[in-house]
Amino acid sequence: MYPKEGYNIFMISKQQTPIKSGFQAKTNTDEITKGIDLIDKIAIVTGGYSGIGLETTRALVDIGARVIIPAKRTEVAVQNLEGIVSKENIVEMDLSNLNSVKKFTEDFKENFGKLDLLINNAGIMACPETRIGNGWESQFAINHIGHFLLTTELMDTMAENDGARFVSLSSSAHSLTGILWNDIHFQNNPYDKWMAYGQSKTASSLIAIEFHRRMVDKGVSGYSVHPGGILTPLQRHLQKEEMVALGWMDEDGSPSEMAKNFFKTTSQGASTTIWCATSSSLDEIGGVFCEDCDVAKRKNEVDESLQRYFGVADWAVNTEEALKLWDVTQSRLPSAPPVTTL
């Protein structure tokens, strides 16, 4: 059962409540974007060439946005995005290398100057223990620290655009744990790939909460998103036996009944991101966690049997936790040695 104590409820936004958007869990992106025009808008989508990131890119391009794709594997990105994004808009960047992230942001500022949408979609999940840079645990380093540097370096390009938005992809796995303040990088305790992933996805939510607080007076909003369950290359580190044990597939490798009922297509998985990035329903709302194309309920408002998969844990939207994580991450970046690639 989800813990009900330990986090100050007064540090949770009153806006963290569903708004009855009119969309559903399995709404497709074209339903979200109907009637929306993003001509002359510039977007960045990390991981925008695979899985739901590719669908996010496609949806934005279809309504006129110019989408810039930072990619570690540029040759794969060029191939996957053929006919969608031109090669000149696919730029090398490696989230595990802070120098690479810094170079990307500097080049973007020089070439574009303004940014309307930043969507932090890329990530790794439940991978074997890997250390990068000065001993950082790789899921936290890539899913949070790399994205944090990207975001903070681009904030000034968004501040000049009233109505700009930031979307950070979290996951239902955030419900596994808050930030492990005493051992963020598993240096004192045995590594647990799911706890590490869950922590990184809590961080992905908190960055949006604090971003919004810092930017809302400039007319810029931030949102975190749980896209839902989708079978994509994100699961590349999981063996078939593990996915069977999780209830995602049957022994023969076909989707389980649970997966058939609850899992989404990539278009459906991208829809909440697109809704947060474009919906006028959110013009006066921000700093919230969203799922199924609506603002999410808090965990204690969800049926106990469904709390593992739906709703947002207080620790992922707590403004005090968000500020602490922002300050801790920021304070460690300047003194950090160059981060090596995975």
Residue positions annotated with a catalytic role:
170, 197, 201
Report long-range pairs for 253-259 (Cβ below 8 Å, ≥24 apart).
Answer: 255/231, 259/229, 259/231
Phi and psi (nearest 5°) for 85?
Answer: -125, 130
Question: How many Cα atoms sit within 13 Å of 180 on the Cβ side?
Answer: 24
> Under a CB-based contact definition with an 8 Å cutoff, are residues 48 and 121 in contact?
yes
| Closest among 306, 296, 108 to 209, alpha carbons compared | 296
| Closest among 163, 264, 269, 270 to 222, alpha carbons compared | 163
Report long-range pairs for 67-75 (Cβ below 8 Å, ≥24 apart).
Answer: 67/43, 68/42, 68/43, 68/44, 68/108, 68/112, 69/44, 69/45, 70/44, 70/46, 70/104, 70/150, 72/96
Question: How many Cα atoms sit within 13 Å of 118 on the Cβ side?
Answer: 29
* Tally of CB atoms within 10 A around 156: 14
Q: How far is CA 238 from CA 6, 47, 118, in A?
A: 32, 19, 29
> Under a CB-based contact definition with an 8 Å cutoff, are residues 273 and 225 in contact?
yes
| Closest among 201, 196, 194, 174 to 183, alpha carbons compared | 196
> Under a CB-based contact definition with an 8 Å cutoff, are residues 291 and 18 in contact?
no
The whole-angstrom separation of Cα 309 and Cα 303 is 10
> Under a CB-based contact definition with an 8 Å cutoff, are residues 177 and 202 in contact?
yes
Determine the 3-state secondary structure of 291 from DSSP: strand
